[in-house]
Amino acid sequence: MPASIRIGGVEIRPATVLAPMSGVTDTVFRRFIREMGGCGLLMTEFTSADGLLRDKRVLGRYLHFYDDEHPISAQLFGSDPQVLADAARMVEDLGFDLVDLNLGCPAKKVVKCNGGSGLLRDLPHIGQIFETVRAAVKIPFTVKFRAGWNDQEIVCVELAKLAESCGLAAVALHARTREQGYAGTARWEWIAAVKHAVGIPVVGNGDIRTPEDAAAMVAQTGCDAVMVGRTAASNPWIFRQIAQFGAGGGYEQPTEADRYRMIRTYFRMLIEEEMPGAAGKMKQFASWFTHGVASGAHLRKAIYEARTEQEILARVEEFFESAVGCRPSVVGQSAVALRSP
């Protein structure tokens, strides 16, 4: 595994990236992942450039971050070059280290507005966006994209070359097509083709479920860093495990006590942040966080039936105290405790 990657003037150490995920990578989850250890770069949820300019509440909802999240990249989506440039300037003024363009989201509501992967069929327009945004900001400008619209329209190499020629600092490829969505297998050979074609850093994304997968992607593609998405929600230790595997060939598996600390800490962070809809977020994450927990179905049921944030937290504490003898007094309340197995 690469020890680090430099994107423009920003050093990412280690060379691992938390993928931008709608409804997931808010400030609480990002800081939670940072405290778990091993993640080099955090990314925000993808944010509408048009919405950001029209409604300043979008700024607080999607682009709020804390000092301990650096380095951090803000991801924007949209189709109007000037709107995206204006939004990128706002991102720079807010203090983000990088700004990223989303050309990968396959959601119909985004695609029909010519955003996300909907732009993959119009490379000349993408080129206009690249040039306009690049001229608008001094921080590194990057792009995350899919291989193409479908198997008959693979444009990843051409798009990566276009990004390099327009002065972008790095590219990240999710090695699936828009047509695939999140199904099927990521085609890592497309990442290798992009890496062979450009001189700027290439970040690989798709089907990294274990540290072994991360190492295999680097070995097979030569990519400069790896980006992890959905796995991070079910296994928040994945970045630390990747770092451990890269350093010594082995990595720690979480114990039941570790899982308790993890769930309890994240839920407490949501409550302390006074995150709107925290109870709903807890229930959303319960299905991921209880993956691998013995009798996890019982815990999920207890969480889903609870009505308030404090009631959910109490159900978690009751379950683990009964199941594995974990007590809140010995677990601790700080996310920093997660750094120790």
User: Could you tell me which of 174, 104, 101 has the C-alpha nearest to residue 141?
Assistant: 101
Active site residues per annotation: 105
Task: State the first-to-last Cα distance of the chain, in angstroms, to the nearest integer.
Answer: 22
Q: What is the three-class DSSP state of 74?
A: strand
Integer-rounded Cα Rg, in Å, for the chain is 20
Distance CA 42, CA 247 (A): 21
Alpha helix locations (H) across 148-228?
A: 156-165, 188-197, 211-221
Phi-psi region of 184 (alpha: psi -120 to 50; beta: other; left: phi over 0): left
Q: Are 100 and 88 in contact (CB under 8 A)?
A: no
Distance CA 192, CA 263 (A): 37
Tokens of 146: 């899919």
Q: Per 3-state DSSP, what percentage of the chain is helix, strand, and coil (rounded to 5)?
A: 50, 15, 35
In the block, residue with structure tokens 């109870």: 279
Phi-psi region of 8 (alpha: psi -120 to 50; beta: other; left: phi over 0): left
CA 330 to chain centre: 31
- Which residues touch 2 (CB under 8 Å, ≥6 apart)? 14, 15, 218, 224, 225
